[in-house]
Amino acid sequence: MTTAFALTPQQRAWCARLRTLGEQLAPLAARCEDGRVHRPLLRELGTLGLLARAVPAAPPWRRVSALDLCLLRESLAYSCPQAETALALQGLGAGPVADAGTAGQRARWLPAVAEGRAVAAFALSEPGAGSDAAALALHAEPDGGNRADDPAGSPEGWRLTGTKTWISNAPWADFYTVFARTGEAPGARGVTAFLVPADRPGLHGEPLDMLAPHALGTLTFDAVPVTRADLLGAPGGGFRVAMRTLNLFRPSVGAFAIGMAQAALDASLEHADGRTAFGGTLRDLQSVSHRLAEMATRTEAARLLVYAAACAYDAGDGEGADLARRSAMAKLLATETAQDVVDAAVQIHGAAALQRGHLLEHLYREVRAPRIYEGASEVQRSLIAKELYRERSADPGVATGGAGAGEGSASGVGKAARDDPPGAAAGRAADEAGEDRL
């Protein structure tokens, strides 16, 4: 059940402060070469303490607040999308380390990421596998003998061979959280997560030229050596690691989109109030005023769904059978809404909005990608529908049939094993049901 929600005065003041910081960061952000990681911007985000809101910076490595992350991303996106993106990619890339890393891995990398001294990257997508985890082809070939003390007989090390592409911060990152097929079981159950430093032999990268000029690239793995010390979680448990990370970050992708939608809406309100046309101003035209009202209403509705998903995550400490559904709903509605709002804002502004350097020209390019990354809108719809039927089959008072009844119950998801990391239930729900979509 979702209760009534409103930000506290302290939260509203913090958001206002973040918008001001975004304005102050904008000149620095503008000095970045397109398609490159902006290390001076990252260091400034670290100095301001903002990266530490997205990445646990010190023991005991407490989980970041999903709501704080959403407020942070929304507010920065409003005034400086470049700073928001730089911050978010640090959090996403370091997320699997915070979630499943060893004490040594966390101590080595998380403080450096939170201070902006090291660049992290989340390496999941491949040329033939984006949201479909079952199609991952990056292969981890066993290297060396098996451990005698491991009942599962997993090897001492592996060699990674294959390609990752559309990887944010590649090829400029200092380390990558890489998901590879080790083959313990078919589909998602045969995926393992590794922490791979960028200087490993056999690892090469090339930048990509994208619509929005962010740092994205392709990584080539030519028998890259990894050992058990590089594991993030257990062999075969990589899908759960990815799902727990995405369940935290998906609502905040929606928050990023809402920040851009709000910036487009506010620009449209100002333009319609001052632009003269047909003997009055644009705001006097019913078609324009009604469109503005629709833009504002949909933006606020999406914002509330994002906040609700984040609050549910925080209230359950990353646990809960409905987290995957809530996160998917929030990302879906917010990113689709933002696309429509920015498009409507361009229409209201007319040709001026298409001129290079205009705020809306920038937002128009920025707003497209969130509907694809971290799970495309079509995948979110499939996930939502699957979760609805799973929840229905788990309800003892509801008789179900067909595919929904046979896909497994999530009724035990909240009863995580004592040795599971926080957030394991949501990942285990998808894993046990054979869900292969990210």
- The residues assigned a catalytic role are 374
Classify 143 as helix, strand or coil: strand
**Number of helices (H), then strands (E), in the chain:** 12, 9
Collect all residues with Cβ–Cβ distance below 8 Å to 279 and sequence separation of at least 6. Answer: none
Q: Cα-atom radius of gyration of the chain, to the nearest Å?
A: 22
Give me the amino acid identity at 143: D
Burial environment of residue 279 by CB neighbours within 10 A (0 to 12, 13 to 18, 19 or more)? exposed
Query: 97: which DSSP letter?
Result: H
Q: Is the dihedral of CA 300, 341, 90, 313 positive or negative?
A: positive
Taking each helix axis from N to C end, the angle separating 238-274 and 286-315, rounded to the nearest 10 degrees, works out to: 150
77 phi, psi to nearest 5 deg: -60, -30
Calpha distance 256→74 (Å, rounded): 5
Give the pair of three-digit tokens for residue 433.
């049901």
Residue found by looking up tokens 């229905």 in the block: 392
The H or E element that residue 378 is part of is helix 377-394
Calpha distance 250→122 (Å, rounded): 14
Calpha distance 189→433 (Å, rounded): 11
Q: Are 102 and 195 in contact (CB under 8 A)?
A: no
Nearest residue to 331 via CA among 381, 284, 289: 381
Q: Are 250 and 329 in contact (CB under 8 A)?
A: no
Collect all residues with Cβ–Cβ distance below 8 Å to 384 and sequence separation of at least 6. Answer: 325, 328, 329, 332
Strand partners, 191: 181
Classify 135 as helix, strand or coil: helix
